[in-house]
Amino acid sequence: MKNILSRFVLTVFILSSFYCFAWGLTGHRVVAEIAQHHLSSRAERKIRKLLENEKLAYYANWPDFIKSDTTGVWKETSAWHYVNVNPQKNFTQFKDTLSIQKAPNIYTQIRILSDKIKDKNASDTDKKTALIFLVHLIGDLHQPLHVGRYSDLGGNKINVTYFGQKTNLHSVWDSKLVEDQKYSYTEFANLLDIKSKDEVKQIQSGTLEDWLYDSHKIANSIYYQTPNDAVLSYDYNYRFEPTIERQLLYGGLRLAKVLNDIFG
């Protein structure tokens, strides 16, 4: 399966060069690399076996690459990358809104994928695919606009100008803010991954619902500070650089927690 996936990734990467993906290539690899640093020995051993000795970062973007597949095999997975939730007053209302959504979304699929990996009757091929998606989706949930409003499809309908380029708010947060830091993913991961053990434990605490609500609140702040037709430049990068760094770090540390729990 490794060779098949590798060839497919290369082909789709060429076809998908005009697409913007959550966190971009660099961002998802940063999340995966940070998680790799915090895997337990047991989890790392089992994951290495499933991924045939490749690291998490190798497959971190594959669930985005396959959005360009024209066979329709992966079409249903497009909805797994986000959940649209209009602004909620508090955590209870947010959690209630999550629970009534029936269509597949990032919330439902993270739980399903986790169960698939733990299923003793599932094949290694299915577990590997589930693991690859899970790595990616935990990253996605920390991109705040993947828990954004339904009315504008997570910022996709909010037009902005970014350094003179016409684009939309979602695209700015998906990739542009991360890529403009000009770090490789290993440089970025090493720069961010400096928390103490106690701080790491605190960041990893909470439930999936807590983490989604955390991103949702940040999304609401982004909306407030980025009206339609906003002109964005250096000041916008400066204002949100700490948020970008926080979310990438939190995504990586929480991904490690999820994987350690699954494979522990």
* CB-CB contact of 70 with 12 (8 Å): no
What tens-digit pLDDT sequence spans the chain (264 residues)? 444 444 444 433 333 333 345 678 899 999 999 999 999 999 999 999 999 999 999 999 999 999 888 888 898 999 999 999 999 989 999 999 999 988 999 999 999 999 999 999 999 999 999 999 999 999 999 999 999 999 999 999 999 999 999 999 999 999 899 999 999 999 999 999 999 999 999 999 999 999 999 999 999 999 999 999 999 999 999 999 999 999 999 999 999 999 999 998
User: CA 104 to CA 123: how far, in whole Å?
Assistant: 22
Q: Go through the domains of the chain in sequence order and give each one's CATH number.
A: 2-14+39-263 (1.10.575.10)
Q: Which among 258, 236, 56 is positioned nearest to 141, based on CA atoms?
A: 258
Residues in the chain, overall count: 264
Give pTM, 2 decimals: 0.91
